[in-house]
Amino acid sequence: MLKDEAAELVKAFRQGDAQAFNRLVALYQGKVYNLAYSYVKDQEEARDLAQDIFVTVYRSLPGLKDPAKFSSWLYQTAINHCRNRYRRLQRRGFFETQSLDDEESPLQLASGESLEKNIEEQQTASILRAELAKMPEAEKEILILRDLQGLSYEEISETLQVPLGTVKSKLNRARLALKQRLRHLL
Protein backbone atom coordinates (compact mmCIF):
# COMPACT_ATOMS: atom_id res chain seq x y z
CA MET A 1 0.00 0.00 0.00
CA LEU A 2 1.25 3.47 -0.93
CA LYS A 3 0.68 4.89 2.57
CA ASP A 4 2.76 2.15 4.23
CA GLU A 5 5.52 2.50 1.67
CA ALA A 6 5.61 6.27 2.19
CA ALA A 7 5.85 5.85 5.97
CA GLU A 8 8.79 3.48 5.58
CA LEU A 9 10.52 5.89 3.20
CA VAL A 10 10.02 8.77 5.64
CA LYS A 11 11.60 6.69 8.41
CA ALA A 12 14.50 5.73 6.14
CA PHE A 13 15.04 9.38 5.15
CA ARG A 14 15.15 10.40 8.81
CA GLN A 15 17.77 7.72 9.42
CA GLY A 16 20.02 9.22 6.76
CA ASP A 17 18.97 7.40 3.57
CA ALA A 18 19.10 10.26 1.04
CA GLN A 19 17.65 8.04 -1.70
CA ALA A 20 14.49 7.50 0.34
CA PHE A 21 13.41 11.07 -0.39
CA ASN A 22 13.98 10.53 -4.11
CA ARG A 23 11.70 7.48 -3.93
CA LEU A 24 9.06 9.56 -2.11
CA VAL A 25 9.23 12.14 -4.87
CA ALA A 26 8.89 9.42 -7.49
CA LEU A 27 5.80 8.05 -5.71
CA TYR A 28 4.03 11.39 -5.45
CA GLN A 29 5.39 13.64 -8.19
CA GLY A 30 2.58 12.90 -10.64
CA LYS A 31 -0.13 13.62 -8.09
CA VAL A 32 1.57 16.78 -6.85
CA TYR A 33 2.11 18.01 -10.42
CA ASN A 34 -1.54 17.33 -11.33
CA LEU A 35 -2.71 19.16 -8.22
CA ALA A 36 -0.47 22.12 -9.05
CA TYR A 37 -1.65 22.09 -12.67
CA SER A 38 -5.28 22.10 -11.60
CA TYR A 39 -4.58 25.43 -9.89
CA VAL A 40 -2.27 27.23 -12.33
CA LYS A 41 -3.28 25.72 -15.70
CA ASP A 42 0.24 26.11 -17.10
CA GLN A 43 2.74 23.27 -17.49
CA GLU A 44 5.87 25.26 -16.73
CA GLU A 45 4.30 27.03 -13.77
CA ALA A 46 2.97 23.69 -12.46
CA ARG A 47 6.44 22.12 -12.72
CA ASP A 48 7.97 25.03 -10.80
CA LEU A 49 5.22 24.86 -8.20
CA ALA A 50 5.64 21.10 -7.76
CA GLN A 51 9.38 21.58 -7.35
CA ASP A 52 8.81 24.27 -4.72
CA ILE A 53 6.44 21.95 -2.89
CA PHE A 54 9.01 19.16 -2.77
CA VAL A 55 11.74 21.57 -1.60
CA THR A 56 9.48 22.60 1.28
CA VAL A 57 8.69 18.96 2.02
CA TYR A 58 12.41 18.09 2.04
CA ARG A 59 13.15 20.87 4.52
CA SER A 60 10.13 20.16 6.72
CA LEU A 61 10.10 16.36 6.68
CA PRO A 62 12.23 15.95 9.81
CA GLY A 63 9.49 17.79 11.75
CA LEU A 64 6.68 15.48 10.62
CA LYS A 65 5.39 13.86 13.81
CA ASP A 66 3.71 10.78 12.35
CA PRO A 67 5.30 9.23 9.24
CA ALA A 68 2.05 7.29 8.63
CA LYS A 69 0.35 10.62 7.87
CA PHE A 70 2.87 11.63 5.22
CA SER A 71 0.44 11.72 2.29
CA SER A 72 -2.08 13.90 4.13
CA TRP A 73 0.70 16.19 5.29
CA LEU A 74 2.11 16.34 1.75
CA TYR A 75 -1.28 17.25 0.27
CA GLN A 76 -1.86 19.86 2.95
CA THR A 77 1.53 21.40 2.17
CA ALA A 78 0.85 21.19 -1.57
CA ILE A 79 -2.59 22.80 -1.28
CA ASN A 80 -1.18 25.66 0.77
CA HIS A 81 1.53 26.25 -1.83
CA CYS A 82 -1.01 26.03 -4.66
CA ARG A 83 -3.34 28.53 -2.99
CA ASN A 84 -0.51 30.98 -2.39
CA ARG A 85 0.88 30.66 -5.91
CA TYR A 86 -2.58 30.99 -7.43
CA ARG A 87 -3.22 34.21 -5.50
CA ARG A 88 0.18 35.62 -6.43
CA LEU A 89 -0.32 34.80 -10.12
CA GLN A 90 -3.83 36.20 -10.03
CA ARG A 91 -2.53 39.50 -8.65
CA ARG A 92 0.03 39.63 -11.47
CA GLY A 93 -2.70 39.08 -14.10
CA PHE A 94 -1.27 35.70 -15.13
CA PHE A 95 -4.66 34.10 -15.74
CA GLU A 96 -5.98 36.84 -17.98
CA THR A 97 -4.08 35.34 -20.89
CA GLN A 98 -4.51 31.67 -19.99
CA SER A 99 -6.97 29.52 -21.88
CA LEU A 100 -9.05 26.95 -20.06
CA ASP A 101 -9.15 25.00 -23.33
CA ASP A 102 -5.51 24.01 -23.01
CA GLU A 103 -5.15 20.51 -24.41
CA GLU A 104 -2.50 19.65 -21.84
CA SER A 105 -4.98 19.88 -19.00
CA PRO A 106 -5.13 16.85 -16.69
CA LEU A 107 -8.86 16.67 -17.41
CA GLN A 108 -8.15 16.12 -21.08
CA LEU A 109 -9.96 13.01 -22.16
CA ALA A 110 -7.95 10.48 -24.14
CA SER A 111 -9.87 8.45 -26.65
CA GLY A 112 -8.90 5.81 -29.13
CA GLU A 113 -12.18 6.29 -30.95
CA SER A 114 -13.17 8.41 -33.93
CA LEU A 115 -12.10 12.02 -34.38
CA GLU A 116 -15.72 13.12 -34.01
CA LYS A 117 -16.02 11.38 -30.64
CA ASN A 118 -12.67 12.78 -29.54
CA ILE A 119 -13.72 16.35 -30.40
CA GLU A 120 -16.97 15.89 -28.50
CA GLU A 121 -15.08 14.62 -25.45
CA GLN A 122 -12.64 17.55 -25.67
CA GLN A 123 -15.53 20.01 -25.77
CA THR A 124 -17.12 18.34 -22.75
CA ALA A 125 -13.81 18.41 -20.86
CA SER A 126 -13.34 22.06 -21.78
CA ILE A 127 -16.78 22.95 -20.42
CA LEU A 128 -16.06 20.95 -17.27
CA ARG A 129 -12.71 22.72 -16.74
CA ALA A 130 -14.30 26.13 -17.26
CA GLU A 131 -17.11 25.47 -14.77
CA LEU A 132 -14.75 23.90 -12.24
CA ALA A 133 -12.52 26.99 -12.46
CA LYS A 134 -15.51 29.24 -11.63
CA MET A 135 -16.44 27.33 -8.48
CA PRO A 136 -15.59 28.60 -4.99
CA GLU A 137 -12.15 27.49 -3.82
CA ALA A 138 -13.43 25.08 -1.15
CA GLU A 139 -15.75 23.28 -3.57
CA LYS A 140 -13.14 23.13 -6.32
CA GLU A 141 -10.52 21.83 -3.89
CA ILE A 142 -12.59 18.95 -2.56
CA LEU A 143 -13.60 17.89 -6.09
CA ILE A 144 -9.96 17.96 -7.21
CA LEU A 145 -8.78 15.93 -4.22
CA ARG A 146 -11.47 13.24 -4.50
CA ASP A 147 -12.44 13.04 -8.16
CA LEU A 148 -9.20 14.03 -9.90
CA GLN A 149 -6.53 13.03 -7.39
CA GLY A 150 -8.40 9.97 -6.12
CA LEU A 151 -7.79 10.57 -2.42
CA SER A 152 -9.91 8.62 0.04
CA TYR A 153 -12.40 10.40 2.28
CA GLU A 154 -10.06 9.75 5.22
CA GLU A 155 -7.07 11.28 3.40
CA ILE A 156 -9.12 14.34 2.48
CA SER A 157 -10.28 14.63 6.08
CA GLU A 158 -6.67 14.60 7.30
CA THR A 159 -5.47 16.91 4.53
CA LEU A 160 -8.13 19.57 5.01
CA GLN A 161 -8.32 18.96 8.76
CA VAL A 162 -12.08 18.57 8.81
CA PRO A 163 -14.23 15.71 10.17
CA LEU A 164 -14.98 12.78 7.86
CA GLY A 165 -18.70 13.58 7.81
CA THR A 166 -17.92 17.14 6.75
CA VAL A 167 -15.81 15.86 3.86
CA LYS A 168 -18.67 13.69 2.64
CA SER A 169 -21.27 16.44 2.91
CA LYS A 170 -19.01 19.08 1.32
CA LEU A 171 -18.16 16.71 -1.51
CA ASN A 172 -21.81 15.94 -2.08
CA ARG A 173 -22.69 19.65 -2.14
CA ALA A 174 -19.77 20.43 -4.47
CA ARG A 175 -20.80 17.67 -6.87
CA LEU A 176 -24.39 18.90 -6.83
CA ALA A 177 -23.22 22.46 -7.46
CA LEU A 178 -21.07 21.33 -10.39
CA LYS A 179 -23.94 19.24 -11.76
CA GLN A 180 -26.21 22.26 -11.51
CA ARG A 181 -23.66 24.42 -13.34
CA LEU A 182 -23.33 21.82 -16.08
CA ARG A 183 -27.03 21.06 -16.43
CA HIS A 184 -27.76 24.10 -18.56
CA LEU A 185 -24.55 23.77 -20.62
CA LEU A 186 -24.55 20.13 -21.70
5 & 87 share domain: yes
Sign of the CA dihedral 58, 86, 76, 180?
A: negative
Is the confidence at residue 98, as pLDDT, over 90?
no
Q: In terms of residue numbers, what domain contains 86?
A: 1-95
Nearest to 152 by CA among 137, 134, 171: 171
Distance CA 54, CA 60 (A): 10
Residue 18: CATH number of its domain = 1.10.1740.10
- Write the CB contacts of 7 (distance below 8 Å, at least 6 apart in sequence): 67, 68, 70
Domain-embedded: residue 103: no
Domain-embedded: residue 34: yes
Mean pLDDT of 3-7: 86
The tens digit of pLDDT for each residue in 129-163 reads 778 888 898 898 898 888 888 888 998 998 888 99
Domain-embedded: residue 100: no
Q: What is the pTM of this model?
A: 0.69
179 & 117 share domain: yes
67 & 4 share domain: yes
71 & 122 share domain: no
Sign of the CA dihedral 103, 106, 108, 109?
A: positive
Nearest to 42 by CA among 102, 2, 1: 102
180 & 135 share domain: yes
Distance CA 168, CA 171 (A): 5
Residue 126: CATH number of its domain = 1.10.10.10
Is the confidence at residue 107, as pLDDT, over 60?
no
Query: For residue 49, what pLDDT band results from cuts at 50, 70 and 90?
Result: very high
123 & 83 share domain: no
117 & 69 share domain: no
27 & 87 share domain: yes
14 & 79 share domain: yes
38 & 5 share domain: yes
Domains identified in the chain, total number: 2
Is the confidence at residue 22, as pLDDT, over 90?
yes
Domain-embedded: residue 102: no
Distance CA 4, CA 68 (A): 7
Domain-embedded: residue 83: yes
Domain-embedded: residue 106: no
